[in-house]
Chain A
Amino acid sequence: MYPSRFAYEAPRTLDEAIGLLHDGAGEAKVLAGGQSLVPLMKLRFANPELLVDINNLPGLDRLETLADGTIRVGALVRHRDLERAGDVHRIQPVVGAAAPLIADPIVRTRGTLVGSLCHADPQGDWAAVVTALRGYVVAQGPGGRREIPIGDFVTGPFQNVLAHDEVAVEAVLPGPRHTVAGGFLKLERRVGDFATAGTAVAIELDGDRVTRAGIALTGVGSRTVDATGAAEALVGRALTSEAIAAAADAAAEAAQPTADHRGSAAYKKHVIHTFVTRILTRVSTTSEQAA
């Protein structure tokens, strides 16, 4: 399968890339890892006239952890870099749990977290992680930079809020204030398959009290589901079995799955319920042991 014909540019500076996108007037597309875009172009679901390859832009491969625990993920940080970043996993365990479950190990060599957010696949995994962590995307266009909270960034299935001449330069995961715990669970039919259902949980604990919680779901809606009700069921409380059950109920309630070849809607809700329970139970037993 060949993509239809297109022009290709590999600029060396961000300004040049933005200029090319601007002149492309909506017919140009950014090419990052290519692990979603190239398959789509081969199927001719995407037919851009111009590809602006950002792989040669300096600095975008930076994965930084700041003193306050903020994590900055440049647009060229690959899934594989995140999988190997032990320092990041120590700060945000949910990242370490999710990274090895994205696609397969060879796709992870090339694909990027920021590209995954831009692609906005309702079954993508990183958007759930970034939502649970209240992350944001930094975009740069001709008019300068802006920060876009993840909840506003994705506007629908395969749609994001970027203007045609904006490049997402990084994703930022804000630093935690208290002890962090969390996890990511994904049900897939085989390695490399998209999620039948997936759950990202990120919480902060002050002693045994939950001070912040984020629970986000993938594969169970037309976009990533931010299960705010489930998170609210935890904040201010200890991780008792009642609190965990309330959060799991609220998450299953928030899920809006459709039945498909991966399973019925009821089954997917059940999986979400099980995943939330499992992650939170594990967190509560580990923190009890630590105490």
Chain B
Amino acid sequence: MTVNGEVVTRDVEARLLLVHFLRDELGLTGTHWGCDTSNCGTCVVLYDDEPVKSCTVLAVMAGGHDVRTVESLEWEGQLDPVQQGFMECHGLQCGFCTSGMLMSARALLDRDPDPSEATIREAISGQICRCTGYASIVRSVRWAAEHPAGGVG
């Protein structure tokens, strides 16, 4: 599979979940492992550009596919606009849900660069944040929509 643009080849047990493959085999610990029951969404990564819960995908199923994790957002020292938005608008407190939120926000903006508040709320509705009450996450994603090239951070 391709992970963050790099081809990786490993022999793994069929029962290895994608989230553990990313964290334990590749050391990409930005993807968090949360509820483990496909509910909380902290483990969201992009799979062929669409968000998936990596605790509910077998690593072997990702063979031949393109996976992107939160580590791919920053590019040559430049944060992705969604990362900047979360900083500008206090989109996180404890940070546990953040990597999943960032990835679904990125997928949303790639498809719909100017989403309404309702659209943003819908896009993150499969993910749980226990700190922010979501309002600042929604604002953060809007910030990113309004600053597609990023901005002074």
Q: Which residues of A does B touch, CB under 8 Å?
A: 1-8, 10, 31, 34-35, 38-39, 41-42, 51, 53, 55, 80, 100, 103-107, 109-110, 191-192
Contacts A10-B63, A103-B126, A104-B126 given; indicate if A39 touches B15 (C-beta within 8 A). Answer: no
Q: Is the CB of B15 within 8 A of A2?
A: yes
Bound complex: CA A80 to CA B104 (Å)? 14
A106 touches B51 (CB 8 A): yes
Residue contact B58 to A110, C-beta cutoff 8 Å: no
- Knowing A39-B37, A109-B52, the reply to whether A6 touches B123 (Cβ < 8 A) is no
How far apart are the CA atoms of A104 and B51 in the complex, in Å?
11
Contact with A along B47-74 (1 / 0, CB 8 A): 1001111001110110100000000000
A39 to B57, CA, bound (A): 10
Report chain A residues within 8 Å CB of B37.
39, 42
Binds A, one of B38-46, B91-99, B138-146: B38-46
B124 to chain A, nearest CB (A): 8
Closest residue of A by beta carbon distance from B50? A109
Which residues of A sit under 8 angstroms from B39, Cβ to Cβ?
A: 192
A110 to B152, CA, bound (A): 37
Assembled-state Cα–Cα distance A6/B123 (Å): 34
Are B125's CB and A35's CB within 8 A? no
Query: Is B11's beta carbon under 8 Å from chain A?
Result: no
User: Do A106 and B61 contact each other (CB < 8 Å), given the known contacts A1-B36, A2-B15, A191-B126?
Assistant: no
Q: How far is the CB of B76 from chain A (nearest CB, A)?
A: 29
Are B60 and A35 in contact (CB-based, < 8 A)? no
B16 nearest CB across to chain A (Å) = 8
Cα A34 to Cα B44 with chains together (Å)? 15
A107 and B38: CB pair below 8 A? yes
User: Are A5 and B126 in contact, CB atoms less than 8 angstroms apart?
Assistant: no
Q: Is the CB of B15 within 8 A of A104?
A: no
Give the complex CA separation of A4 and B13 in angstroms: 11
Asked whether B126 lies within 8 Å of A4 as measured between CB atoms, the reply is no
Partner among A6, A39, A51, A53 whose Cβ is within 8 Å of the Cβ of B56? A39
B66 shortest CB reach to chain A, Å: 14
CA distance A107 to B38 in the complex (A): 8
- Complex Cα distance, B17 from A105, in Å, reads 20
Chain A residues near B125 (CB-CB < 8 A): 104-105, 191-192
A10 pairs with B126, CB closer than 8 A: no
Q: List 23 A-B contacts (CB under 8 A).
A: A6-B15, A7-B14, A8-B14, A10-B63, A38-B56, A38-B58, A51-B58, A80-B50, A104-B125, A105-B51, A105-B104, A105-B125, A105-B126, A106-B41, A106-B51, A106-B52, A106-B53, A107-B126, A109-B50, A109-B52, A110-B57, A191-B125, A191-B126
